Amino acid sequence: MPILRFSDASEPLEITAQICYNPPMVRTSWHPAFAQAIENELDESKNALTFETEHQLTTEPLRIDVLIIKKKRNVVIKKNIGQIFRVFNIIEYKRPDDHVTVEVYHKTQCYSRLYASLNKVNINEMSVTLSVAQIPQKLLAFLKKQYTVKNVQPGIYYVEGDTSPTQILVSTELPEDENVWLTSLRKDLTAEQVSRILLATKNRASTDAYVYTVIEANPKAVKELYMKRLTAEQVSRILLATKNRASTDAYVYTVIEANPKAVKELYMKRKDIFLTEELDAIFRKRNSAALIAEGKAEAKAEAILIVLRERFKKVPKATENAIRQLRDPVALDSWTAYAASCQSMDEFVAALK
């Protein structure tokens, strides 16, 4: 049963990742997240590139993690991780816990040669990228004996002399401000970094796998983040992220419990979001006094406006907003009496200020 329904199909946020407060003990799917990360990294050049994930090389289970093809040969990629790109670009990704060996390097090089052979592509029009989390010291030591290895930019090592231009990307060394998508694919993010990722995915298509992986890999940071005070906007994004995901009621309940003020604001203002009957009942039970007080305050404020409109026809918008913000029951009663006795609208406005 879905957690939320939406009356507005044009809702701009389209995150469908299940945010797990206590993630299941399953192996994190890093590769789909990496595919979305590298596409986002190359966002400024996306119209000039074609991205193919899990590109099937043969009828056997032999696949390239990401294949990036320039739509026009003369396109120049300015992004730091794409400056080495040729027309056809093989990307091999290794998870944070993977051990990157010489054999892994050779396998990736074989992918480029096999792709060139099967697709009748000039090998000189290909590049190879190996993306890793930690610097592979043994591999670099081996490569330095065979080729020229240059640390051209932070986190980017060029290997010169192999069949195709090759680079090794070390995500933990890449500049975080320039490569936020790749540098965030790790298990030691802070709550602030997770929050930044959630905000960065707003209005971006195809980030569900990425968000899911980041959150699943960083449960402590996620717990810390959602135990803090969140704004109604942030709570809204969290609830939207659970759309059409099974077994998320417990998680949503935790969010409601940890952030009552933000959830109340969201609940009272967002008319296009409806909790399930079970969660609605929980929310109302836990916040019944506040909701009753809120309802009474709104009713009294509306009564003041009715009296003023009946007597003076028109209420200035600023005055109406100020009245609707009143919550003290004693003050509301006093303003109701004053609305009935004041001599003019101007007198009421002056007194309210």
CATH number assigned to the domain comprising residue 110: 3.40.1350
Mean pLDDT lowest among 65-69, 254-258, 288-292: 288-292
**Last residue in a domain, options 183, 207, 234:** 183
Model confidence pLDDT, tens digit, residues 301-333: 888 888 888 888 889 999 888 988 888 888 888
Banded pLDDT at 282 (limits 50, 70, 90)? low
- pLDDT at residue 183 is higher than 50: yes
- pLDDT at residue 344 is higher than 80: yes
Residue 168 maps to a domain: yes
- pLDDT at residue 113 is higher than 60: yes
Higher pLDDT, 159 or 255: 159
Model confidence pLDDT, tens digit, residues 214-240: 988 998 888 777 666 567 776 667 666
How many Cα atoms are found within 13 Å in the side-chain-facing hemisphere of 4? 21
Residue 208 maps to a domain: no
Residue 212 maps to a domain: no
Q: How far is residue 78's CA from residue 243's CA, in Å, rounded to a whole number?
A: 37
Banded pLDDT at 271 (limits 50, 70, 90)? very low
> What's the confidence (pLDDT) of residue 103?
93
Q: How far is residue 121's CA from residue 126's CA, in Å, rounded to a whole number?
A: 8
40 & 167 share domain: yes
**Last residue in a domain, options 149, 168, 183:** 183
- pLDDT at residue 279 is higher than 60: no
Q: How far is residue 65's CA from residue 295's CA, in Å, rounded to a whole number?
A: 55
172 & 303 share domain: no
Q: How far is residue 42's CA from residue 77's CA, in Å, rounded to a whole number?
A: 8
- pLDDT at residue 104 is higher than 50: yes
User: Three-class SS of residue 70?
Assistant: strand
Please say whether the beta carbons of 41 and 207 come within 8 A: no
Banded pLDDT at 11 (limits 50, 70, 90)? very low
Residue 305 maps to a domain: yes
What are the Cα distances from residue 147, in Å, to 33, 38, 134, 154, 232? 31, 27, 21, 20, 55
Residue 267 maps to a domain: no
Residue 153 maps to a domain: yes
* Residue 206 CB-density burial (10 A; 0-12 exposed, 13-18 middle, 19+ buried): middle
44 & 178 share domain: yes
Residue 131 maps to a domain: yes
Domain count, the chain: 2
CA angle 30, 182, 227 (to 5 degrees): 75
Banded pLDDT at 296 (limits 50, 70, 90)? confident
52 & 178 share domain: yes
Higher pLDDT, 352 or 70: 70
Residue 2 is encoded by which pair of tokens? Answer: 């879905």
Q: How far is residue 95's CA from residue 68's CA, in Å, rounded to a whole number?
A: 20
Which among 118, 173, 47 is positioned nearest to 90, based on CA atoms?
A: 118
Mean pLDDT lowest among 140-144, 210-214, 259-263, 325-329: 259-263
**Last residue in a domain, options 183, 206, 230:** 183
Q: How far is residue 307's CA from residue 313's CA, in Å, rounded to a whole number?
A: 9
Higher pLDDT, 40 or 126: 126
What are the Cα distances from residue 166, in Å, to 21, 91, 128, 162, 163? 40, 10, 5, 7, 9
Q: How far is residue 186's CA from residue 172's CA, in Å, rounded to a whole number?
A: 9
pTM for this structure?
0.57
> What's the confidence (pLDDT) of residue 281?
60
Residue 22 maps to a domain: no
Domain hosting 345: range is: 297-352
> What's the confidence (pLDDT) of residue 22?
40
